[in-house]
A and B are shown apart, each in its own frame.
Chain A
Amino acid sequence: MIENMLSDLRLYLHLLRMQWRAQSQYKMNRAIDIGSYFAVTSLEFVGVLVYFGPFPSMLGWHVGEVAMLYGVMSIGFGFAELFGAGIDNFQDTIRLGEFDRVLLRPVSSFVQVAGSDFRLRRLGRISQGCITFVIALRLLPDLHWTLAKFIALLLGIASGSVLFLSVLLLGATLCFWTIETTELVNILSYGGRDMLSYPINIYNQAMQRFFLFVIPLAFGSYVPTCYVLGRPLPFGLPGEAVFASPLVALAFALSAGAIWQFGVRHYQSTGS
């Protein structure tokens, strides 16, 4: 079991190294790609900032706090995009019939799909997230840091990556049934990302519940940010809930994985 996981991990790293080498064939292209992606994601953040022109705060959240939330979300989502590019592109893998080849190899189909692409351009979003986070720290000079907050932040970002990755995987799984409705999933992943750029308490209760208990993306950004900022969580959740983020992420990832496996079996029985 453990040995299998290790060997899957080694295989994944091999696949990533291949992608790296393939993309190194076009170095200039890669540099421009990362740069432009950085610019695009920065513009998205500027879009959020525009709100603070006329209004001093967003339901009690100040610009620095929203910037921190945005930074945390961007870093988590950025890692998910970086490592999940193969999953994100899965519709092409299916459409071009390359998934048949995946099934013809004696190793995990998930590892192969995850390793089928690696987008360095996503570093653009991660660096934008880091810069936004640093700006947030400048805007919040009075913030008191503790070791617990630091750990909560790291756990939150890691959980956020896993949660977004799982959402991408759910979207990929839908491709086993149809490749024409992937926009539905983009609503979940990219829509979720955009909605979580704002504090979720600006949405109605149903939406808040959705992001906490159904698709628990809030555990990757909103919950840890609230903990760091010392803000209360909705529905009377204790701030310490942040330390459950890894468990929430794990449970969600395992569910997504099970649905993926179900999808693989469905694909086999319907064919090309």
Chain B
Amino acid sequence: MFKNITIGQYIARESTVHELDPRMKIIITLILIVGLFLIGSFWGFLFMAAYIMFLIYFSRLSLPLLVRGLKPVIFIILFTLFIHILFTRGGEVLLEWRFIRVEEGGLFTGLFMATRIALLILFTSLLTLTTSPIQLTDGLETLMSPLKVVKFPAHELAMMMTIALRFIPTLLEEAEKILKAQKARGADFESGNLLRRAQNLIPLLVPLFLSAFRRADDLAAALEARCYRGGVGRTRMKELVLKRSDWLALVISLLVVVGVILI
């Protein structure tokens, strides 16, 4: 039942995009996303699409793989498209049949929004596909570290993220076991109205919750036994270093974004 969830989605390859510094990849993704929101025409989207093809080529991933990532959100994309087609008004009437009325403005806005969502998702999945969760949290920790000056707990947050990522598969496995055990005892997870169904999940959630708390207790004991005392004075096996290729990637992405906004 849970086998189809690809956690972390990270796919290890030896490629230019994989080897970029995680900090730079996060910054570049942010810039590209801001760009997507400032684009005013379909030409801009076309160039962005071309740019993502270029990035996919250099990350040695396949296009079908990324497109498959769109599957879980296809419903939302289509929903957005249809809502706009049916309810947004403006321009010429393209189709009129009984109470259904499609106008040019609606079709245009619908396609525009749908393209934007699809591109947003493609850029974000490219980041998670080419950067391992550990690299991502490392990158986030260093990006947040200037905030340590104002006593922002950058290390603690990164540590929590690493722990969270480590325990997702464990808890999912546990959830599957509890689900089976409770079903064997006659628990019903599939019938009733929405509120009833939500409440029926309690026999699954409470044991899962308690087991997570127990694990946290053990983990804390294990950390302390190994003399963990926070980020102060901790060294790393792999230090992050910005290379020339990182700066080059930043400059190219900036140029692309400025270009598509000016179109």
- A and B physically associate: no
Q: Which residues of A contact B (CB under 8 A)?
A: none
